[in-house]
Amino acid sequence: MSESHPTRPSMSDLANSLGLGVATVSRALSGATGVSEKTRQRVRQAADDLGYVVSPEASRLAGGLTRRIAVVTPHLSRWFFSEMLDGIEAELRQAGYDVLLYHVPDGASRHQFFRDLPARRKVDAVVAVAFPIDDDEARRLELLGVHIVAAGGQTASYPFVCIDDGTASRQAVDHLLLLGHRRIAMIEAFDPDSPQWHVRVGRSQGYYAALEEAGIPIDEKMVLSVPWSGEAGAEAMAKLLSLPRPPTAVFAHSDEVALGAIRTLRRAGLRIPQDMSVVGIDDHPLAALTDLTTIHQSVREQGAQAGRMVLDLLAQRSTATAVTTPTHLIPRGSTARPRETPSAPGHTGQM
């Protein structure tokens, strides 16, 4: 007999070959109650032997789940996002779910996504990677029984997993403080495509808190807010350098931004860390290569966590509604004690 005809066996084929009814087989396979354990085993065995798998379409049509989960992300090629995607995908696929990928670079496409998805029930749940969902949108999905989990960004209304931004930035700033820095600048980063998701509030707060606790007055000129990119970081650094009294250290909201800042410093002929200390957040692969001191966060792990949360939700299992993964300082060569503790203020000063 030629093995070539790809005719998938159907559930009734399976049922017949076992002398059972399809109803029983369905129950056996789906783990539902109402089948004796012996029968269930027999069915499972036979299914394996025949290489039978339920048709997801038919299953869904008849009221089951799709076993598909959407991952929605505003960026595809940025380290943080692809790393997160990696973690999520691995966890989900291992559990037998398929991952639908939706790239929503801008508000328009995001909007469209949330408009279209509910109509056609394509997925059982959605994981939103580091971007905000309107409470309204969330509610509509919830209503349809579509679960939501946020990965890499905190939101009020549904389960999320992310780092504690406040702690992370405190770790960064405290490190600088411990080294003896007093004039510490901050380059805040925000995603220009998600205007509603402001500056990482937590990260800024950590900075303010750390300085305050150290008894250092805040100098607003030391705080710059820029789009999330190396380019912007470079420009911000230039501004900081042209300050009457530039900082001795810079805390950037992200490694990408920090790296940009470093480029400006190099171009300006300043040495790192002798003339200026720089610290970022993320532990981006480039940080290791460029010897950048940073705060490590395990993005993969966050993704995996988010995956697990979705799985819990779908299994009706209870799950944590908020997970924060730990961060820690990775001291490298971009930070050091300040050159000299400036003790003569009031020398320079007008623009």
Partner DNA sequence: CTCCGGATCGGAAACGCTTCCTAAAATACT
Partner DNA sequence: AGTATTTTAGGAAGCGTTTCCGATCCGGAG
What does the binding site for its own copies look like in residue numbers (CB under 8 A)?
4, 6, 8, 51, 53-58, 60-61, 66, 68, 71, 76-77, 79, 82-83, 85-86, 89-90, 93, 98-103, 116, 118-122, 140, 143-144, 230, 263, 286, 289
Of 206, 59, 31, 202, which Cα lies nearest the Cα of 124?
59
Of 52 and 207, nearer to DNA (C-beta) is 52
Contact status: 17 vs DNA (CB under 7 A):
no
Look at residue 263 and give the partner it binds from its own copies, DNA, none, a contact being a CB closer than 5 to 8 Å depending on partner kind: its own copies
Look at residue 143 and give the partner it binds from its own copies, DNA, none, a contact being a CB closer than 5 to 8 Å depending on partner kind: its own copies
Q: Residues 223, 188: contact at Cβ < 8 Å?
A: yes
Q: Beta partners for 69?
A: 99, 125
Q: How many residues bind DNA (CB under 7 A)?
A: 33
Q: Among residues 58, 76, 144, 320, which is the contact residue for DNA, using CB under 7 A? A: 58
Contact status: 39 vs DNA (CB under 7 A):
yes
Contact status: 97 vs DNA (CB under 7 A):
no
Of 315, 276, 281, 274, which Cα lies nearest the Cα of 295?
281
In the sheet with 223-227, reading across from the earlier edge strand, the strands are 223-227, 184-190, 249-252, 277-282, 293-297, 327-330
Look at residue 190 and give the partner it binds from its own copies, DNA, none, a contact being a CB closer than 5 to 8 Å depending on partner kind: none
Residues 116-134, buried b or exposed e (16+ Cβ, 10 A)? ebeeeebbbbbbbbbbbbe
Of 102 and 114, nearer to its own copies (C-beta) is 102
Q: Among residues 24, 82, 109, 229, which is the contact residue for DNA, using CB under 7 A? A: 24
Of 40 and 122, nearer to its own copies (C-beta) is 122
Report the C-alpha gap between 119 and 111 in whole angstroms. Answer: 14
Report the C-alpha gap between 246 and 259 in whole angstroms. Answer: 18
Of 92 and 186, nearer to its own copies (C-beta) is 92
Amino acid at 298: S
* Residue 158 Cβ vs DNA, minimum distance, rounded to whole Å: 24
The conformational region for residue 319 under phi > 0 = left, psi -120 to 50 = alpha, else beta, is beta
Contact status: 35 vs DNA (CB under 7 A):
yes
Q: Among residues 6, 34, 217, 349, which is the contact residue for DNA, using CB under 7 A? A: 34
Q: Among residues 2, 4, 19, 351, which is the contact residue for DNA, using CB under 7 A? A: 19
Of 76 and 268, nearer to its own copies (C-beta) is 76
Q: What distance lies between CA 335 and its chain's CA centroid? A: 27
CA angle, 62 then 65 then 66, to 5°: 105
Contact status: 88 vs DNA (CB under 7 A):
no
Q: Beta partners for 163?
A: 325
Binding site for DNA (CB under 7 A): 8, 10-12, 15, 19-24, 26-27, 29-30, 32-39, 52-55, 58-59, 61-64
